[in-house]
Chains A and B, each alone.
Chain A
């Protein structure tokens, strides 16, 4: 079974500061990894994904994430936080095998608060 752990349910950053959201996964097969963002009262929007190509993945809104197999991590970063980055962020893992049926397993989420 696959699982995802997001360290820190809440992260507070100052506007202009680095945003770092931590994600560790557990998977017995090569995983696909995703970061999603959820704004209040909205659905989830895909930020970026890792699908076994480049280990450093760039996404929308200036976010990027690095896949580190040795650390089983896929941390999300943004060099300079903006007020509009305040949202809930979810890391997710998918089993790359076809038989798994595209199931995404989500972490518990990290709420980002941006202070002016």
Chain B
């Protein structure tokens, strides 16, 4: 059983389109995250939800909108995709508390053409 699963694994789309990435965890964690990894492997947090409540919202364009229907799911919707959005997007989950560390999904590679 995959602990943190993301779909799709690969996403190729044209500029201007709208797309969504889905994430689900079966670990019983109460906090979920979206991270962006750029072409140089640099990882940056985008959003974090705890029990469906948004708790971290970094300086991300408002074309990116996260949604957490319940504490096991965190989706990411991106409007009007741009070339610069091309990256690998990772979902992660953890228990509340900074000492636990995260469990990561395997990533979604988004390519905007």
Contacts and interface: CB of A to CB of B under 8 A. Distances in A.
Dominant SS among interface residues on chain A: strand
B102 interface: yes
A32 B42 contact: no
B48 A96 contact: no
Contacts of B92: 43-44
Given A101-B50, A106-B43, A108-B42, A45 B104 contact: yes
B99 A109 contact: no
A49 B107 contact: no
Contacts of A44: 43, 90, 92, 102, 104
Interface of B: 4, 31, 33, 40-45, 48, 50, 55-56, 90, 92, 94, 96-107
Contacts, number: 70
Interface residues of A, number: 29
Nearest to A50: B99
25 contacts: A34-B101, A41-B107, A43-B105, A43-B106, A44-B43, A44-B92, A46-B103, A88-B41, A95-B98, A98-B97, A101-B50, A101-B55, A101-B56, A102-B50, A102-B94, A102-B97, A104-B45, A105-B45, A106-B42, A106-B44, A108-B42, A109-B41, A109-B42, A109-B43, A111-B41
A15 B68 CA distance: 45
Contacts of A103: 45, 48, 56, 98
Contact of A102 (B43, B48, B104): B48
